[in-house]
Amino acid sequence: MPPARLVPFEQGSDPPPGTRQLLLELGPDRFAQWVWDRKCSADAARASNAAGYTSYPDNVVRDFTIEAARQGIDVFRVFDSLNDVRNMEVAIDAVRSTHASARARHLCTNSNTGDILDPSRPKYSLDYYVDLAGQLKDMGTHMLCIKDMAGLCRPYAAARWWATLIKGGEAGIDVIDAAVAAVSGSTSQPNLNTIVGSLKGTERDTGLRPTPLGDCSLYWETVRTYYRPFDNSPKSGSARLYDHEIPGGQFTNLQQQAAALGLGQRWREVEEMYADVNRMLGDIVKVTPSSKVLRGDLTTFQRPVGSVGK
């Protein structure tokens, strides 16, 4: 197998003047620290769950958040697995308390589930999300973020959602998470190369150059071949996600767990069981750690015994 091809430097963005000389002077370790201090780092803060699965005391959440900010985290993406803003309050206050430091701290909040245009699912309506956004704004949130864990936010729903939130203005966004082409799609993020190409020449032109992105994608395309024996992600897209609503980051984990329990050939039934368990629990927001409850504690247990609702 050929080695991974390096991206030609001359086709990439020019580094700050003196960067190569600095690498020679500092060496790899100290140079990495120099880069770390000059980049924007983000942290997924699970509100009262902090960086774990259990519910931690307020002082633990507060001290952990402040220490993370001191160590260089710039953006805290605060969310609660059930969209309970009361659980977010301590983490948000802790982030805001770090403003006196050299770097401003920002936090992004919100989680998405269901379909606001589906009249048969009134629990997560447009009014629900508008009210949630208002509460988060009142708590001092700097940015609002749609955390769409399973790709459930459909285009027309998103347009109506954001247009309402910004009082009828342009339904626009400031930041979007994407992945380079070779590792995009499926359970990953949308294709960055495609987004850049589709927005080129428009008012939303990203300013990114397609050629270096293409070279970067070729590099990771080769690297990915080394991990093929461990890559069990779906090989194509599927609209079944609108039925089972399994978050992308959980999909492959649940597949592996099902296979280990001898349910690999019954994966479609496991998907259906996940949806049944979700309804049994009241159609909950599915993001860590609530999604783990559906996966490990109920779905894979209920499938063999077939006792949903009992």
Considering Cα of 106, then 285, then 116, then 93, what sign does the dihedral take?
negative
Both 175 and 188 in one domain: the answer is: no
CATH number at residue 278: 1.10.472.90
| Residue 5 in domain | no
| Residue 227 in domain | yes
- pLDDT of 169 above 80: no
| Residue 155 in domain | yes
Last residue of a domain, which of 231, 251, 266?
231
Both 83 and 192 in one domain: the answer is: no
Residue entry with tokens 């009992």: 310
Both 171 and 187 in one domain: the answer is: no
The residue-averaged pLDDT of 136-154 equals: 76
Number of domains present in the structure of the chain: 3
- pLDDT of 103 above 80: no
In order, the DSSP letters of 10-32 are GGSPPPPTTHHHHHHHHHHHHHH
Q: Phi, psi (5° rounding) for residue 168?
A: 85, 5
Residue 42, H or E segment: strand 42-45
Band (pLDDT 50/70/90 cuts) for residue 58 is very high
Work out the number of other CB atoms within 10 angstroms of the CB of residue 28.
8
| Residue 89 in domain | yes
Both 102 and 220 in one domain: the answer is: no
Both 185 and 298 in one domain: the answer is: no
Q: How far apart are CA 198 and CA 182, in angstroms?
A: 17
| Residue 151 in domain | yes
Both 146 and 257 in one domain: the answer is: no
- pLDDT of 60 above 80: yes
Q: Kindly report the CA angle at 93 between 92 and 94, in degrees rounded to 5? A: 90
Both 45 and 141 in one domain: the answer is: yes
Last residue of a domain, which of 212, 231, 250?
231
Both 218 and 195 in one domain: the answer is: yes
| Residue 126 in domain | yes
Contact 172, 155 (CB under 8 A): no
Of 140 and 103, the one with more pLDDT: 140
CATH number at residue 160: 3.20.20.70
Both 34 and 95 in one domain: the answer is: yes
- pLDDT of 30 above 90: no
Both 90 and 163 in one domain: the answer is: yes
Both 109 and 22 in one domain: the answer is: yes
| Residue 102 in domain | yes
What pLDDT, on the 0 to 100 scale, is given for residue 173? 65
- pLDDT of 162 above 80: no
Torsion, Cα of 301, 305, 307, 310 (10° steps): -90
Q: Kindly report the CA angle at 40 between 203 and 72, in degrees rounded to 5? A: 160
pLDDT digits (tens, 9 = 90+) for 73-94: 888 888 888 888 898 999 999 9
Give the global pTM: 0.63
Both 141 and 94 in one domain: the answer is: yes
Domain range for 268: 241-305
Q: How far apart are CA 280 and CA 308, in angstroms?
A: 8
Residue entry with tokens 């992308």: 248
Last residue of a domain, which of 141, 159, 179?
179
| Residue 3 in domain | no
